[in-house]
Amino acid sequence: MKFIDEAKIYVKAGDGGNGVASFRREKYIPLGGPDGGDGGRGGSVYLLADRNLNTLVEYRYTRKFLAPRGENGRGADCYGAAGEDITLRVPVGTVVYDAHTDAPLADLPRDGMKVLLAKGGKGGLGNLHFKSSVNRAPRRCTPGEAGEEFDLRLELKVLADVGLLGLPNAGKSAFIRAVSAARPKVADYPFTTLHPNLGVVRVDENRAFVIADVPGLIEGAADGAGLGIRFLKHLQRTRVLLHLVDLAPFDPEADPVKDAASIVRELEKYDPELAAKPRWLLLNKLDLIPEEERAGRIEAFLFAYRAASGFDSQHFAISAISGEGCREVTFRLMETLENQADEAEKREENPTGRQFAAEEGSG
């Protein structure tokens, strides 16, 4: 199935049905009075997160979604039927934006979440509502209200705990194959990954996390070079980033330090908050380096990288093809993710004074 992570749609809730002005006319009842019923409510449009979906392809070609209007009221106190609601199913992790202002309207990060996109219009009132002691035969009724309508932009941000970064051919796809059951394409040419891939890393029977592999970045990606930065949004929900670096590039003129620093710059251009996430270095392709040279190659890279970027993070030397060092990375990741979850739970139980102040101010 083709991976589609963005779509523009138009939604229109149903208009309310019109109220009616009617009078009871039966034999032997000359003054039956008003009996006009109300119009029915228009149908609403809802959005539902469904974990069985993983792409927005259904909304690439069908872009207009119109809920039915409510029926008009009728005589004999008959109210019009309400229009049927429609529910649009989207993948978990979908974010809804106003297509004109780009303002976020809804986020659906959990399966089964349901949000109202467009509310159906209220039905109009029949003349039954306007009778009084001084107006025994009202001829007034009201039309139904118009349903809401919006131009919306849907954007899918995949849900993953860990995200992979790196140049094309840095070994991201090979790494996700080594630690999970995912089988993305691996080849000896760049841009083998053309859309995000997800893999479940199972550390033991009851402990697992999700890892995301996105197409590789190159220098100038923020300006549209290569596949650009359009897939980086899929890393915004992750909690840890793994930056894979090719320690044994095929090009003898390639500089791993310069390449690694360029990835960080592109990340900062795209989203400083994303760049501020915990980021670990995975020094890949040890299998291509003689054992007696590995320690020196790793030490030289780390020294130059720290001097160039000032960034000092956890690092691991691995070989994604042979699996060397990969298992240790997954155990450390699982431990880190569990610690983050524990800290988040403690913050919820003991909110800070700043959070209390924000709540008080908002009231």
- Give the residue among 70, 77, 73 at the shortest CA–CA distance from 121: 70
Give 236-251 pLDDT, tens digit per residue. 788 888 888 888 887 7
Best-predicted range by mean pLDDT among 38-47, 260-269, 320-329, 341-350?
Answer: 38-47
Domain 6-156: give its CATH superfamily. Answer: GTP1/OBG domain (2.70.210.12)
- Residue 320 vs residues 6, 40, 169: alpha-carbon distances, Å: 31, 62, 12
Out of 43-52, 207-216, 336-345, the most confident range is: 43-52
User: What sign for the dihedral angle of Cα 148, 152, 158, 164?
Assistant: negative
Residue 114 pLDDT class (50, 70, 90 cuts): very high
Look at residue 3 in the predicted model and tell me its pLDDT. 61
pTM for this structure? 0.69
Where do the H-state alpha helices sit in 95-148?
none
pLDDT at residue 73 tops 50: yes
- Bridging pattern class, strands 279-284 and 149-156: unpaired
For residues 43-48, give the mean pLDDT.
94
**Could you give the CA distance from residue 335 to residue 345 in angstroms, rounded to a whole number?**
15
Count CA atoms closer than 13 A to 312's CA, side-chain side: 4
* Beta-bridge partners for 297: none
- What span, in angstroms and rounded, lies between the C-alpha atoms of 4 and 153? 13
Q: Quick one: pLDDT at residue 262? A: 81
- 162-349, what's its fold? Rossmann fold (3.40.50)
Answer whether 6-156 and 162-349 agree in fold.
Answer: no
Specify the higher pLDDT residue, 290 or 249: 290
**Amino acid at residue number 50:** D
Domain edges within the chain: 6-156, 162-349
The model's confidence at residue 216, banded by pLDDT at 50, 70 and 90, is: low
Rounded average pLDDT over 154-164: 84
pLDDT classification of 353: cutoffs 50, 70, 90 = very low
Q: How far apart are CA 103 and CA 12, in angstroms?
A: 19
Q: Which residue has the higher pLDDT, 361 or 240?
A: 240
Query: What are the distances in angstroms from CA 149 to CA 108, 119, 123, 146, 351?
Result: 20, 8, 17, 9, 39
Q: Rg for the chain (alpha carbons), in Å?
A: 30
Query: CA nearest 49: which of 85, 86, 89?
Result: 89
305 token code pair: 């990288």
Q: What is the DSSP string of 288-332?
A: GS-HHHHHHHHHHHHHHHHHHH-----EEE-BTTTTBTHHHHHHH
The predicted structure's pLDDT at residue 193? 45
